[in-house]
Chain A
Amino acid sequence: MDLFLISVIASTLRVSTPLLFAALGETINEKAGILNLGIEGTMVFSAFIGFWAAKTSGSVELGLLAAVLAGLALGLLMGLLTVTLGLSQHVSGLGVTLLGTGLALFLFRLAFPDPAIPPKLDAPFPQLPILVGTPLEPVFSQFGLTYIAFALVPLCGWLLYRTGFGLNLRACGENPEAADTAGVAVYRIRYMALAIGGALMGAAGGFLSLAQLDSFTYGIVSGRGWVAIALVIFGNWKPGRVLIGALLFSVFQALQLRWQAQGVQLPYWFLLALPYLVTILALTLAGRNASYPAALLKPYKREG
């Protein structure tokens, strides 16, 4: 197979991994009626916690666990703010992003005081080749987490659309009053959605610091959380379409990396900005028909 094609496909799969984790997490949040703008900060925070845990314990598996738990914790914080206290989801989410980012940088400087030497992991996640011996082997020499991210797409679809929990979760996002009347514990379901979503965002951050980059830097997430928000809307809140969006975005990224390495002159910033503009266009075309979860952004207050 053509070497250029192989490297583009391989890096597309790698680049799309954190986006998939994060966008699936955000999909679950939004389907339950919570727009989680804390996603960017949640990813930065868990990327740091994962890196720190792996560096201290020497085990990337423990690091990943710590990253997932860190994401889950910030998901629960988002729950405290938007579910229990019923505060504005916009401002709470931005607050969580500012908090997660600030905390990560503060703790990073505290744990690694000398900023001159960027710390690296001694043993990051290895790549796991599958289809060994076939022509596809170079494409499928990916990190284990990449396979997991892709496997999560149908799993999330199944969870949201084929289980009782998913039905209840979507009911909380469409009409929490009716769901409550039907006996669904709205607060608990929304908390669970935020916990699961936060854990997935944590995995996204963990993938960045433990596998893809095997170090923590200040700009480690660099807007990937916002890309994930765009992907969820672009994907019309359906995991399968979110996957398509993530792959499209990542192809652009992969091509950009390749072309830049080969010295091709292009306005790369425009290629990188294109997905955002396409999302805005998609939102406009869908207009009033965009299938936003009906209760998105609406706090639910039980009258009693």
Chain B
Amino acid sequence: MRKRKQINHNDKYVVLFEFDESDELAAVDDGDTEGSDD
């Protein structure tokens, strides 16, 4: 996970989050709700 901080036109800070899609996140969507069990 990476963060980029900027100041917007209202002088408020904005933190943009970028995620590495290559491994765990992509794998988890293959099974979608995998891991849950009621």
Is the A/B pair a real complex?
no
